Amino acid sequence: MKFKFPTRDGHNPRDLIRKCSYGEWQDREHEVTSYTRKLGGGNYPRFHVHLVEQKSFFEVSLHLDQKQESYSNTTAHSGEYEGKVVEDEARRITAVIADIYEI
């Protein structure tokens, strides 16, 4: 699921998503930074966010990782990109950022 927020002075996307209880995750193999929020005591299931920054907005790409990728040298995993759980998390993120932006 993808959704967008306007860029606002004094607020950067990295800090905003961290205020939504996401921790930074470094994929050293692919040199990519993303953000995760665990749903239990282990690493999975977890929400996984990629941020794409543009000049006037940033896009949040959200999915739910149910388990670790099962094939080496690939990004295939058991991810959910839609459905009630993902929609509820998108609403929660939107509410947190709207509160920060005081919308």
Convert the pLDDT of each residue in 8-65 to its tens digit.
Answer: 999 999 999 999 999 999 988 889 999 999 998 899 999 999 999 999 999 999 999 9
Q: Give me the mean pLDDT over the 66-79 stretch.
A: 68
The secondary structure of residue 8, as a DSSP letter, is B
Q: What's residue 6's pLDDT?
A: 97
Sign of CA dihedral 98, 101, 102, 103: negative
Instruction: pLDDT band for 76, please (50, 70, 90 cuts).
Output: low
The single residue listed with the structure tokens 């950022």 is 97
The secondary structure of residue 20, as a DSSP letter, is T
Overall pTM surpassing 0.85 (yes/no): yes
Asked if 84 contacts 91 with a C-beta cutoff of 8 angstroms, the reply is no
Cα distance from N-terminal residue to C-terminal residue, the chain? 22
